[in-house]
Copies of this chain bind each other. A is one copy, B any other.
Amino acid sequence: MTPDAAGRDPSSFAGPAEPGPRGRDGGGARRTTQRAAVLAALHDADGFRTAQELHDVLRAAGERVGLTTVYRSLQLLSDTGEVDVLLNDAGEAMYRRCERRGHHHHLVCRSCKKSVEIESGEVERWTERAAGEHGFSAVTHTMEVFGLCTTCSPA
């Protein structure tokens, strides 16, 4: 399966995208055309995309990139925090290049997958407090908001 879709937290449950960058860069990250292509495709999309969708786009655009590489690049990018990941209903990972660097959430269109980055100290504070009241520590959370964007909204 997916040992860790987000590239962290070896335990069973999901955790949010924690900012804690590991020592990283043990070796040198090379600049390859494939990796650049993936990032570019990701940049063109204004919504979340699955690895396979990105692969299709790349192939359609004439790029010679293997599906395996797309997966690896996305994994890498999400590890370094350059792209955000979220699991859809089917449990499939979807990626998106985000503007904000720190912790934030998303408002995603159920139809076109377009998304807006949102932030909420309110929610952050609430989760901390709620967890604390129950004696839980090392608190993290996940949260995604779905809906229909203006263009996809009926009538």
Contact = CB atoms under 8 A, between A and B. Distances in A.
Of A17, A139, A143, the most chain B CB neighbours within 10 A belong to A143
A11 interface: yes
Given A89-B5, A91-B87, A12 B113 contact: yes
Contacts of A89: 2, 4-6, 9, 11-15, 17
A136 B118 CA distance: 13
A153 B132 CA distance: 12
21 contacts: A1-B90, A1-B91, A12-B110, A13-B94, A13-B110, A13-B146, A14-B92, A87-B91, A90-B91, A107-B134, A110-B138, A116-B134, A116-B136, A123-B123, A123-B126, A136-B147, A136-B148, A137-B148, A137-B153, A138-B148, A138-B153
Interface of A: 1-6, 9-15, 17, 87-94, 107-111, 113, 116, 118, 120, 122-123, 126-127, 130-131, 134-150, 153
Given A1-B90, A14-B144, A141-B143, 11 more contacts: A4-B90, A9-B110, A13-B94, A13-B146, A122-B122, A135-B149, A136-B150, A139-B146, A142-B143, A142-B146, A143-B143
